[in-house]
Structure 1
Amino acid sequence: MKLAKAAASLDERLAALSEAADLAEGRLDRQLVERARAVAERAGARRNLSVDHTAVALAGATGSGKSSLFNALAGCDLAEVGPTRPTTSAAQAALWGPDGSGPLLDWLDVPLRHVVGDGSGLVLLDLPDHDSIVSAHRLEVDRLVGVVDLLVWVLDPQKYADAAVHERYLKALGRHRDVVLVVLNQIDRLPERAVKRCLDDLRGLLADDGLEGVPVVGVSARTGQGLSELRVALDRKVSRRAAWASRLAADAGAAADALAGPSAGTAPASVSRADLARPLSRALSQAAAVPLVVESVAKAHRHRAVAATGWPLTRWLRRLRPDPLRRLHLTRGPGTARTSLPPPTAVQLTAVDTAVRDVGEAAGGGVPEPWASAVRHAARSRAAELGDALDRAVAHASLGASKPPRWWKAVGVLQWLVTAVMAAGALWLLALFALDYLLLPKPPTPTAGRVPWPTLLLVGGAAAGVLIALLSRLAAWIGGRRRARKAARALRAAIGQVGEELVVTPAFEERSRYARFVERVTSAG
């Protein structure tokens, strides 16, 4: 039951590592990303092999007595022993049943295999010397050290403090304390009182390497001293059948640490998108000539109002003037491809570039490099699309200029009525003038007080038409301001959407990617 829980936890950690590697693609060093993926892939392969066998590697330097120890543990002479030069050119395995280790050894690519006992499931590997003068031997050691379930480092009294093994191998195993044993071989060459001192000194060096608490066993392959203690330590590790899972978990943790780097566990502080979007929207509005469009909406409203409600005798003059919105190609509806707005000035373009960079800087606040650079790049990644997007946003924004107010029609009808009254008065007076010119008798002319009705109709109609036109202009000015405010709100919303879609959202998606990466790396570690 415990093993099942450990395996489930391992699955979660490896899935988190794999996702973290995917998130880091193109952001972090390629070798780190590939290493993390390799760990996840290797784990999948190892879990499909026998968990009843534990691959234990004996690794050490030339002259450490590693092969002698291998023979002593196997109980027979399997490895050739040489006192001064490397004799192990290829890894070989000693097997303690049960059967079924073949696929594991095939995966490890260890062709030399010897069955020496039954029962425990131990697969003991004798590796070439890690300091061999033959580069192929060193590469073989590096390969197997990276994949075996349990590592036994064999050191000798003369070179146990050698920087080569500590710097190249042991310090890199800080995450692998549960799957590392250290053997100080050839203790028979030391005075008895010096053995403890050497073991204590070695433990101190291992603590400096990050391996504090790792079992350290003093042995002599030649005399057999300490071998029973080493066998007990190996049996304890092997019998649990969990070294493979501990190794994979340690690999996942080490790969996660490498991915995280100095930023391990650093989640970005919260940043308000609205606070970032406001300065950007202001800069984009200026570049998109929003003030000009808003002013044109007000002018167009007044222009059309005068054309619809002005004095019929003079309103035709208004129709000769160009409509401010039509001049900007802002009255052709949703199908409008391009407007005729003036291009942004150099100052406006600089302001937009600065605002975009500010969004990237602010969104990347609290995010370590190189992720902060990725956030800044994401903010600028679609900057080339801003010009066309702003133009489309202005062209498609609802400016409220297409539907004339209903009172225009009513006032237009009223203007024609008073014009008809004026015309009636003019025709009446013209008829009276004609009768008088022809010396014909004139009919009696009604009056309003002392003013004849024809004169009253003519003058009153003209005065009423002018007064209605003036009042209509005042109403049009007020309505123009109101429509300009509504258009400004619609334009700000449209421009804000452009900035959100092309600048803010890409930056925050990258920021969220980093936050998810931190979460996954933390889970993998």
Structure 2
Amino acid sequence: MTDTPLAPLFSTSGGDVAARVDGLARAVDATAGRLDPALVEEGAAVVRRAGERLRLASDRTVVALAGATGSGKSSLFNAVAGIELSAVGVRRPTTSWAMAVAWGDSGTRELLSWMGIAERQQMSLTSPLGSTTDDTNLDGLVLLDLPDHDSTEVAHHLEVDRLVQYADVFVWVLDPQKYADAAIHDRYLRPLARHAAVTMVVLNQIDKLPPEKWDGALQDVRRLLAEDGLAGVPVLAVSALRGDGVDDLKRALVRRIRDKQAAGMRTGADVEHIAKAFEQLSGDAPAIGLTDSDRDQLVDTLADAAGIAAVADSTEKTLISQAVAATTWPPLRLIGRSKSRAADDGVVAARVQRPAVDVAVRDVAEKSTIGLTPSWVQSMRRAVVVPNRDLGDVLDSAMASTGVGVGRAPAWWSTVKAIQWVALAATVGGLLWLLALAGAGLTGSTSAPTVAGVWLPVILAGVGLVVGLGLALVTTVAAKSSARRRARGVEDRLRDTIAEVARARVLGPVDAELAAYDQARRGIAQALGRNA
């Protein structure tokens, strides 16, 4: 997931609608696997339909005639076409399948095939039949005669539900006797109120009412439509049988065809509707996320839980013991041998406190989702908390592979050790010489080389002792300083290891979720025509 805008789905034919669909596509991509799968799939379906529709004959306007059995829908279809294309009356009391007629054939066949209308149900009028005025010239129109929405055949109203998703303009055909029927209002008109801009209503068979009742019937239809959320939708009185109002309907359709906005308006309404559902579930507030302090705190907590301070302290003590054992005066080394052996094996192994690790991971997940909706909180837990139930084991393994490097002895230890043996040899040699002189003194006179009036064996023994003890003192101080540096190095390496694990297993997934949220938020805003 990145913040780089996706390539536009459409060319200039898409215009602003293309940008909004692109925004929805970004939101769908970001929320897949994170939000309600049904909503994400619905959003993906809108994106797919929009992309396909605006690529296929975008200069065509698809108008669907929909209505109940007996509303005269098919008669109206024929009246608009100017020729009997759809069977009516006793030969076809209900419309069993969608019929389509297109004025002009450019790109229409591919468009209708995409809509799932079989070739045998497609017809084309390459030119208006008979004389026609410019304001009733229907070039560019694709007119559908849908099955009856109230048919007892389930397949019929399922086909209506399917094709309603594809139409650019809806013309709902009502009749004077059943225009208040709840079936069409509850199932179609009210749910499709968001498409008011591309909706028209025809009160057909108006000839069945006395002329003085026409206005009252039309006003009542408008009242019911307003209750459905469709106030202001054009309502036309038509008699398909006598031809009353048919030209008015054609003119209204021509206006839709000429402005070439119907497909975009329909798509825009679909995008806005689903984008609002995404916004309600996903939210629109910018994520606060994690501060640098939060990230450092996670590493500190994991380091404490892993006990790296204890490991470093143990390492320091072991290094001091080993250094003293290796560089001190040999007689002192013999005295402290048992101690140094214990210290050699005394580095404390890491013992990760798993409950503390689990709490730290949960805390980070909760902090990162402050201000986000429950859906994103749950998504963050799935992405961060659930996969890290074994994080304690991962830290154990990572620290074990890092090692503390206690076994590597510095080169200066060997040099000091050699000097100490020379000092010991001088001391022992001087003492043995003095013992020999003392034994010789018992049997006669004794003599030995002198330096500045002091016997050489005395100088050897004294210098050896002073050098050995003095060097032992100096090397102990140096060993402690070196041990502290190396222990800090061990602690730093272990901390770096923990930080790397934290980034890979915790902070990386957190950032990925926050990036997905930000992409979703920006995509939703773009789909709604707003700035993020």
Match of 1:170 in 2: 189
Cα deviation 1:115-168 (Å, max 9, x = unaligned): 565261322222121121111111111121111232111234454444433332
Greater shift, 88-97 or 6-15, is seen at 6-15
Match of 1:499 in 2: 502
Q: 1:349 Cα deviation (Å)?
A: 1.6
TM-score of the two chains, using structure 1 as the length reference: 0.83
Match of 2:28 in 1: 21
Q: 1:12 Cα deviation (Å)?
A: 4.1
Match of 1:280 in 2: 298
Please list, as runs of the form range in 1=range in 2, the aligned pairs for 1:123-522 lying within 5 A after superposition: 123-188=142-207, 195-196=214-215, 199-200=218-219, 202-203=221-222, 205-207=224-226, 209-258=228-277, 260-263=278-281, 266-316=284-334, 318=336, 321-322=340-341, 324=343, 328=347, 341=349, 343-344=351-352, 348-397=353-402, 399=404, 401=406, 408=413, 411-437=416-442, 439-443=443-447, 446=450, 454-455=457-458, 457-459=460-462, 461-522=464-525
Cα 1:342–1:181 shift into 2, 3 Å: same
Q: 1:448 Cα deviation (Å)?
A: 7.1
Cα deviation 1:196-247 (Å, max 9, x = unaligned): 5554554455455444543333334345443333221100111234433433
Q: 1:45 Cα deviation (Å)?
A: 3.9
- Give distance in 1, aligned partners of 2:330 and 2:231: 100
Stretches of structure 2 that go unaligned for 5 or more consecutive residues are 1-9, 129-137
Contact map agreement 2:281 2:375 (CA 8 A) in 1: no
Match of 2:113 in 1: 106
Q: Which amino acid aligns with 1:308?
A: A
Contact map agreement 1:376 1:507 (CA 8 A) in 2: no
3-state secondary structure, aligned to 2:62: strand
Cα deviation 1:11-40 (Å, max 9, x = unaligned): 444444344333333223333333333333
Match of 1:523 in 2: 526
3-state secondary structure, aligned to 1:382: helix
- Give distance in 2, aligned partners of 1:325 and 1:236: 93
Contact map agreement 2:74 2:86 (CA 8 A) in 1: yes
- Give distance in 2, aligned partners of 1:325 and 1:276: 38
Match of 2:139 in 1: 120
Cα 1:212–1:508 shift into 2, 3 Å: farther
Match of 2:131 in 1: none
- Give distance in 1, aligned partners of 2:344 and 2:418: 26
Cα deviation 1:363-405 (Å, max 9, x = unaligned): 2222223222111111124324523432344245485756656
Contact map agreement 2:62 2:144 (CA 8 A) in 1: yes
Q: 1:505 Cα deviation (Å)?
A: 1.2
Q: Which amino acid aligns with 2:483?
A: G
Greater shift, 474-483 or 509-518, is seen at 474-483
Greater shift, 467-476 or 185-194, is seen at 185-194
Contact map agreement 2:99 2:146 (CA 8 A) in 1: yes
**Aligned Cα RMSD in Å?**
3.5
- Give distance in 1, aligned partners of 2:218 and 2:344: 90
- Give distance in 1, aligned partners of 2:429 and 2:381: 75
Q: Which amino acid aligns with 1:370?
A: S
Contact map agreement 1:265 1:518 (CA 8 A) in 2: yes
Cα deviation 1:448-493 (Å, max 9, x = unaligned): 78x7553454355335533432343244334433433343333223
Cα 1:131–1:326 shift into 2, 3 Å: farther
Contact map agreement 2:354 2:392 (CA 8 A) in 1: no
Contact map agreement 1:264 1:522 (CA 8 A) in 2: no
3-state secondary structure, aligned to 1:183: strand
- Give distance in 2, aligned partners of 1:241 and 1:463: 105
- Give distance in 2, aligned partners of 1:236 and 1:278: 64
Q: What is the aligned residue count? A: 505
Q: Which amino acid aligns with 1:341?
A: A
TM-score of the two chains, using structure 2 as the length reference: 0.82
- Give distance in 1, aligned partners of 2:94 and 2:448: 145
Q: Which amino acid aligns with 1:214?
A: V
- Give distance in 1, aligned partners of 2:114 and 2:388: 50
3-state secondary structure, aligned to 1:5: coil
Q: 1:194 Cα deviation (Å)?
A: 5.8
- Give distance in 2, aligned partners of 1:459 and 1:261: 89
Q: Which amino acid aligns with 1:285?
A: A
- Residue 54 (str. 1) matches residue 72 (str. 2): no
Match of 1:331 in 2: none
Contact map agreement 2:321 2:344 (CA 8 A) in 1: no
Stretches of structure 1 that go unaligned for 5 or more consecutive residues are 329-339
Sequence identity percentage: 43
Cα 1:106–1:390 shift into 2, 3 Å: closer
- Give distance in 1, aligned partners of 2:114 and 2:395: 59
Q: 1:412 Cα deviation (Å)?
A: 3.8
Q: Which amino acid aligns with 1:140?
A: E
